[in-house]
Amino acid sequence: MNNTLSFDYQNISKEALHIIAILLAAWLLLALSRKLIRLLRNYMIARAGTAEENRRIETLTRVFRHVSFVAIMLVAGMLVLSEIGISIAPILGAAGVVGIAVGFGAQNLIKDYFNGFFILLENQIHHGDVVEICEKSGVVENITLRYVSLRDYEGSVHYIPNGLITTVTNKTRDHAYAVIDVGVAYRESIDEVYKVMRSVANEIRASEDFGPKIIDDLEIAGVQDLADSSVVIRCRFKTVVLEQWGVRREFLRRLKDAFDAHGIEIPYPHITVYAGQDKQGKAPAFRLEKTGQ
């Protein structure tokens, strides 16, 4: 009896030692993988030439960390099960059968992972990009094989499964354009308006705060529309990515002051109403103006 107990204790102690060794090895592999991924990340960032490449490297680094963690823990778990006497072969066989059955019910999940893989492989979006996906816009905070999370201007976070992504509009690749529509009264000279707009554009390009954010001179496309109450002129600045909105706001602020200084009217909607005419057609017209949009 004592011999049997001693034999069992020896087996248990060996199994415990093996399990501890497996867990220790898994911990060391996780630490080693993190260090190798970090070294590879630093090496690639040192050789990267643009901020866009840096964002792509950061995105791939997070994916590699996740994949390495799952792979190491999965192998370690199977080895531990084997040490405590649970055969892995039936589990793998059952997993194959269950996987087929679950696959039919988890098609959306599988689609998410496939789409996520190709989004990363094709370098469509990076961490920190401003994108529009599924009618949601915001800054990319996280990219996984399962979903993309966006934080919008109000601070709300949108989680979008990769399987739903069919079109990605990336607003932060290479360069951007600050597109601006300016409305002036019909009575104003278009050439004079162009002159004032170019003068303001030169001022903003010469400023220390906004000059480095603008890549090229103001490009005036011309009259965009003859609207109900104004002549709409479209123009744009070529800017550094993520700076188009700030440049647009500053240009409009300065342009408003310049228009005021030159007496150029920025009109509001107005209508002309006739109350009727006498038989000789001599009744004067009167005009009512609406100040609301």
pLDDT in tens, 120-179: 777 788 888 899 999 999 999 888 878 899 999 899 999 999 889 888 899 888 889 999
pLDDT tens digits for 278-291?
666 666 655 555 55
Q: What distance in Å separates the CA atoms of residue 57 and residue 127, rounded to the nearest whole number? A: 9
Q: What distance in Å separates the CA atoms of residue 118 and residue 113, rounded to the nearest whole number? A: 9
Residues of the chain whose pLDDT is less than 50? 5, 101, 292-293
Show the CA angle centred on residue 179, arms to residues 176 and 182, nearest 5°. 160
Q: Are 237 and 246 in contact (CB under 8 A)?
A: no
User: What is the set of domains in the chain, with CATH numbers?
Assistant: 2-105 (1.10.287.1260), 124-170 (2.30.30.60), 179-269 (3.30.70.100)
> Which amino acid is it at 223?
V
Alpha-helix runs per DSSP H in the chain: 2-47, 51-83, 88-105, 107-121, 190-206, 244-262
Which pLDDT value is given to residue 189? 94
**Which sign, positive or negative, has the C-alpha torsion 182, 185, 191, 197?**
negative
Mapped onto helix, strand or coil, the DSSP state of residue 158 is strand
> Which amino acid is it at 16?
A
Q: What distance in Å separates the CA atoms of residue 23 and residue 2, rounded to the nearest whole number? A: 31
Which pLDDT value is given to residue 183? 94
Is the whole-model pTM more than 0.95? Answer: no
